[in-house]
Every structure is written in structure tokens, then in C-alpha cells.
Amino acid sequence: METEPVRKKSSTDWRLIIYEKLKNNVKNLNTDVQLVTPEYDNYIKGDTIENSKSNLCTLVKVIDKLEKCTSEYCCILGTELANFKYLHISNKCNDCINETDIYKVLDCKTCSSIKNKMKDCYSKMTDIIHKSRDCINFYIWIAKLCQKYPKFRHVAISTNDIKKVGYNYLQKMMCKDEALWT
């Protein structure tokens, strides 16, 4: 008797399930309560590499003391990591020289190339926060999503689920539901 091979479920099924959980979480936020987080809204990024390094050290100490790291602190950490990386880019290309959005500069292939010693920058970030390059990039893209979609920082997130879904998928889905996330 021949048996039919087991079929894998579509990869979008589990991604959609996780995204729907995030959507339900944001829909269940109490909108009567002002969705302003004093720590995030008042956070000031370091204006020099040394200030940024000091901010990162302070954030790591705060996060280590917390029993459960909130998405807000992931966002603040990602923002400062992005800022630290941005401050290390000394040779910005012509398109990015006057760019104010640090995430656009970080996404630029020319500015984030070897000539700007990004490998050294990641090594310094790893030494400061004791996380891998992948984890650093994860925090940076969480911060990027939170900047574009402010309600995302109030959602209870499972970092494992968010990593599985991936930035591009979340970006695409949140763009479709932009009114919900902004």
C-alpha cells in the first residue's frame, strides 16, 4: 500500500497567523490611554560615538535588570544601535550626505560598505551589548518598524516570532494595514 507523501504547509500560513496575533494585540490596546511612552518619546540619541556608547551601556544595564524586556526598550536599544552605526559612517555618498533619516543611510549599500569599516563598528557593538550581529540587526529593524509604525512599540511581542516572520514580510503587511499601525 502506497502512502501519499506528507505535504508541508505553505510558509505564509504561519507568518499570517503570527501577524494576525500582532494585529489583534494592537486592536486590543486601550486607545483611551494615551499611547505615549515617556522613555521612548523623551529619549535623546548620542550625538557622538562616545555618547552613543555610553547610552548603549546604560540601556544594557537597564534591560538586564528587567525581568521581561518590553518592546519599548527593544525599540530604544535598536534606535541607539542604529545611531551608533550611523555615527560610524564617515564617508556618506552624495545621495546620503544631507539625509536626515538615519535608516535610509543605513540601508544605502554605498554608505554601509567596507570603506566605512562596518565590520569594526559591529565588533564594537557586540562588545558593548554582548549580542551577535544578527541580534543587533534585529534590534535595528525593530526600531525602524517602530519609527514608521508607532503603535508597534506598544504591542507585546515574542522576539522569536518576530524573527521568524522577518522584516520584509512585516513591512509589507503593516504597509497594507497602515491606518491600524500609525
- Per-residue pLDDT in tens (0 to 9) along the chain, 182 residues: 566 666 655 555 889 999 999 899 888 876 555 556 667 878 899 999 999 999 999 999 988 887 666 678 889 999 999 999 999 988 888 999 888 899 999 999 888 876 667 888 999 999 999 999 999 999 999 999 999 998 888 887 778 888 888 899 999 999 999 999 98
What is the spatial distance between Cα 147 and Cα 59, in angstroms, rounded to a whole number? 18
What is the spatial distance between Cα 161 and Cα 15, in angstroms, rounded to a whole number? 9
Q: Which three cell numbers stand for residue 33?
A: 490611554
Q: Which three cell numbers stand for residue 65?
A: 535588570
Task: Show Cβ contacts of residue 86 under 8 Å, excluding neighbours closer than 6 positions.
Answer: 102, 105, 106
Residues 99/143, Cβ–Cβ less than 8 Å: no
